[in-house]
Amino acid sequence: MSKGKGFHKLGDWGKLKMASTSLAKDLKKAEVMALKKIGLKGETVAKEYILSQPSSWQPLNAEYKKWKEANKRSNKTLISSSSYLQSITHKIDARAMVAYAGVTKKTTHKESKRPMMDIAKVHEFGSKGQGIPARPVWRPTLALVKKWILDSRVVEKEIKKQFNKYRS
C-alpha cells in the first residue's frame, strides 16, 4: 500500500495502468480475431452448403446432365469443373471491421474466363434468359453464419481471451 495525496492505493496499480493504456489495442485484437473466425466460418458454410446439394434446388435439366456425363463432369449441381467451389474464399478488412466470404471480383472461371462473381450471381438469383433456376448459396449462408455468431458467442469469447490477462 502506498500513500498518494490524501488516499491510499490498494491493489495492483501497475496492472490497472497496463489495462487502461492497452484497452483499445486489446479490444481491436479481439475484434480482428473474431472477424477472422467469422470470415472462415462463412467460407466453410458456403462450401458445405454447395456440397450438401439442398433438396430445395431444382435438379439439373436433362440436356445439361447428359453433357456433364459425356464430358466426365461431376453430376452435382454447381459443381462442374469445381471452379466455383474452389473460388470461394474469405477475407477481412480490419480498418472497416468487416468480414467477407464469397468469390472475389478478380477470380475467373478456369475454362470460360468469365468472372466468378457473375457466375455466382446467376446461380444465386437464376437467369430466365439462360434457363438457369435460382440455386441460392449466399442467402442461406448468411442466415446460418448470423445464427452461428450469436450461438457461438465468438466475439464475446475473443474479448474475454484478450482481457483474461488482466486477471490476478
pLDDT bucket at 23, cuts 50 / 70 / 90: confident
Dihedral angle sign, alpha carbons of residues 17, 18, 19, 25: positive
Distances in Å between the Cα of 152 and the Cα atoms of 33, 38, 76, 158, 165 are 14, 10, 31, 11, 22
pLDDT at 98: 95
Percent of the chain with pLDDT over 90: 70
Q: What is the pLDDT of residues 97-130, one digit of tens each?
A: 999 999 998 999 988 899 999 999 999 999 999 9
pLDDT bucket at 165, cuts 50 / 70 / 90: confident
CB 100 within 8 A of CB 92: yes
Phi, psi of 138 (to 5 degrees): -80, -35
Dihedral angle sign, alpha carbons of residues 148, 149, 151, 154: positive
Dihedral angle sign, alpha carbons of residues 71, 75, 78, 82: negative
In this predicted structure, the answer to whether residue 3 has a pLDDT above a threshold of 60 is: no
Joined together, the cell numbers standing for residue 137 give 448459396
Joined together, the cell numbers standing for residue 46 give 458456403
Domain ranges of the chain: 33-163
Residue with the larger pLDDT of the pair 162 and 52: 52
